[in-house]
Amino acid sequence: MTEALKGVIAPNLTPFETTGAIAEDLYIAHAKHLLASGCVGLAPFGTTGEALSVGIDERIGVLERMIGSGVDPARLIPGTGLTNVADTARLTAACLEMGCRGAMVLPPFYFKNVPNDGLYAHFARLIEAVGRDDLNLYLYHIPQVAGVGIPVEVVARLRSDFPDQIVGIKDSSGQWDNTRRLLTEIPGLIVYPGSELPLIEALELGAPGCISATANINGAAIGEVVRLYHAADTAGARAAHEPVKRFRLTVQDYAPIPAMKRLLALRSGDARWAEVRPPLLPTGEAKGRELEAALAAQATDAQAAE
């Protein structure tokens, strides 16, 4: 049985040069910083990492160099989901060859309103195409972005038929009832909410933690909530959760990916951090400073209340 990473996993941001190429020095340094400052793992090339704007060979190359720099691949669950089995299988197999813990896989997201049997067949064929005994798939449910979700019934069927391969899911639907059903109706499935907002409720039902975009800039605080909960300090975990939720809700009011990148550009002094790939557009410096001020005011208020 695959062991879950317990804590917060960061879907790490992908920095770019002004030319549009991946800024590998920033990418690797940021990954190491996240792992050293409260994150138990990374989910490279998820939505937050602008994955669908990054090519297959680019992803493979950056992962190879990041692992070669000393990052433990057992702490990596890269995003590999594309619209067809062949490309998804190629990218997934490459990640496994590097020793990654598993792969986080979107459903095929071009055709809409597809039947459940079609979704099931896609993942069944993917498992066959990868053809590896060490395959660990974490399904990725984010219907509001992908336009196609993975219903609980499909997840349950896949888990039942492929228990050694379908090991977990990231539920970024934002629908607590969906997350609750995954946690309570599918034995043995590792369930990570895609946000820290329902973290306490999910931990109470057996979730090992969460995979959250804001771990890129607030990972230590989110990780502390999980640590306190597992240390049986429920009151402390609940208290620590409140500022974490306020932080998340504040960031959500902006365009989170460009906004977090602008924050990192302001904090590091490296303007490359503000770069995004089209169709996203960068957050302006003034807007970034506005967000920074809002977060700083929150922190001041929290200290005053202690």
Number of folded domains that form the chain: 1
Residue 11 in any domain: the answer is yes
Residue 259 in any domain: the answer is no
pLDDT value of residue 299: 79
Give the chain's residues under pLDDT 70.
Answer: 1, 301-306
Q: What is the CATH number of the domain that holds 211?
A: 3.20.20.70
Note down the domain range covering 113. 7-238
Each residue's pLDDT tens digit, 98-145 = 999 999 999 999 999 999 999 999 999 999 999 999 999 999 999 999
Residue 251 in any domain: the answer is no
pLDDT value of residue 302: 67
Residue 281 in any domain: the answer is no
Residue 267 in any domain: the answer is no
Residue 268 in any domain: the answer is no
Q: Lay out the sheet containing 209-211: strands in order across.
A: 39-42, 7-10, 209-211
pLDDT value of residue 13: 98
Residue 290 in any domain: the answer is no
Residue 195 in any domain: the answer is yes
